[in-house]
Homo-oligomer: A and B are copies of this chain.
């Protein structure tokens, strides 16, 4: 028996990067973790959790965290929502702002499946909304979870190609508007290139776009201090949401904690759709301690920036081309023929070095390499020199 609705049957789920078992001896430069450990204060917060805090339900809205995050960013707590990783904020935004389209039942198997694969491509003969209307805008290439979230919600997807250098096309907002998008996701610094889009361009984009612009700042901590979009919120922009994650900047990928900031009317709508107790008591405590010990995290950001420059120089001197990155990874094209990246990825994997290769247009000739420790980089370069 097949009980899932056709959309889910046909869905190709998001594939996270490989996560080898703890303790395995690999050089892990594939999922953009911060190479340095979280602050001692965070570990103390985790160890200080009491039986009573676990026995009882957690504060449903993470009020203590919201207050600390608001103070840090110069916003009141109604501008902030805490989520179970940044991914939950992305899902909530799609749920709240994008319109699901109806698919008729009883069309499973062959024809139904091929029709439903058309979600987001305009091939939706049964939908009651015009193509794109009510849906999600994205700029490609980008985080491959975005289209999956649109598909799960049965909402149209409007992908617009970034320029060749991954800068924003001048007509980006117009194309999202023409398609009737109610929400758009833009990751800045861009993934997987690392490019930082100037805040002035983000401001223009938000001004021109008629829906909600979610700026995914998962990697912002590794960029320059003035690269973030929070000034737009402080200036009163009502259609901008800013996503932050503790996964990379605070070395807490294992904790699953992100947060969103935006106009209180947007935040209130997101609260309505989240699970009642979406972030647990331990995570609330640890995340609060992480923001309160931000200076410790900041030292890791500086170390990552230095290692990034060193690694970029090292691979460039070996003939690779590397884009300037404001993130904790580099998108790098090896010298030689354009099909070489995949083979290198596989050879490195056999050598115990994980990097990321994306089987996508404009990315197949490159590798995305997370910035690691100096020792990780030495291991990578040794392997590359042996392979060459």
On A, residues with C-beta under 8 Å from B are: 1-5, 8-9, 11, 13-14, 16, 19, 22, 28, 31, 33-34, 36-38, 42-43, 46-47, 49, 51-60, 84-85, 87-88, 91, 95-105, 126-129, 133-134, 145, 152-154, 180, 182, 211-212, 238-239, 247, 251-257, 265-266, 269, 271-273, 275-283, 286
Q: Are B5 and A276 in contact (CB under 8 A)?
A: no
Considering the complex, give the chain B residue whose CB is closest to the CB of A248: B55
Q: Are B255 and A22 in contact (CB under 8 A)?
A: no
**Nearest CB on B from A128, distance (A):** 4
Instruction: Choose one: B5, B31, B33, B57; the contact of A98 (CB below 8 Å).
Output: B5
**Nearest CB on B from A116, distance (A):** 12
In the complex, which of the residues A88, A98, A103, A212 has the most CB atoms of chain B within 10 Å of its own CB atom? A103
Q: How long is the Cα–Cα vector from A49 to B265 in the complex, in angstroms?
A: 38
Q: Are A55 and B273 in contact (CB under 8 A)?
A: no
Instruction: Choose one: B37, B49, B100; the contact of A55 (CB below 8 Å).
Output: B37
Q: Which residues of chain B have C-beta atoms less than 8 A from A85's C-beta?
A: 275, 277
**Nearest CB on B from A63, distance (A):** 9
**Nearest CB on B from A34, distance (A):** 6
Q: Are A46 and B49 in contact (CB under 8 A)?
A: yes
Q: Are B255 and A282 in contact (CB under 8 A)?
A: yes
Known: A16-B60, A56-B33. A100 touches B154 (CB 8 A): yes
Q: Can you report 6 A-B residue pairs in the complex whose CB atoms are below 8 A from each other?
A: A3-B211, A5-B98, A19-B60, A99-B102, A105-B129, A255-B281
Determine how many copies of this chain the complex contains: 2
Q: How long is the Cα–Cα vector from A122 to B28 in the complex, in angstroms?
A: 54
Q: Are B100 and A128 in contact (CB under 8 A)?
A: no
**Nearest CB on B from A179, distance (A):** 13
Q: Are A31 and B3 in contact (CB under 8 A)?
A: no
In the complex, which of the residues A91, A152, A266, A282 has the most CB atoms of chain B within 10 Å of its own CB atom? A282
Q: Are B8 and A254 in contact (CB under 8 A)?
A: no
Q: Are A182 and B46 in contact (CB under 8 A)?
A: no
Q: Are B272 and A13 in contact (CB under 8 A)?
A: yes
Considering the complex, give the chain B residue whose CB is closest to the CB of A23: B52
Q: Which residues of chain B have C-beta atoms less than 8 A from A102's C-beta?
A: 99-102, 127-129
Q: Are A254 and B58 in contact (CB under 8 A)?
A: yes
**Nearest CB on B from A77, distance (A):** 15
12 further interface pairs, Cβ-Cβ under 8 Å (given A1-B265, A55-B254, A282-B286): A1-B238, A8-B272, A16-B277, A19-B59, A22-B52, A37-B54, A46-B47, A55-B253, A57-B253, A99-B103, A255-B282, A282-B282
Q: Which residues of chain B have C-beta atoms less than 8 A from A88's C-beta?
A: 275
Considering the complex, give the chain B residue whose CB is closest to the CB of A97: B3
Q: Are A277 and B251 in contact (CB under 8 A)?
A: no
Instruction: Choose one: B60, B87, B105, B127; the contact of A133 (CB below 8 Å).
Output: B105
Considering the complex, give the chain B residue whose CB is closest to the CB of A6: B99
Q: Which residues of chain B have C-beta atoms less than 8 A from A42's C-beta?
A: 54
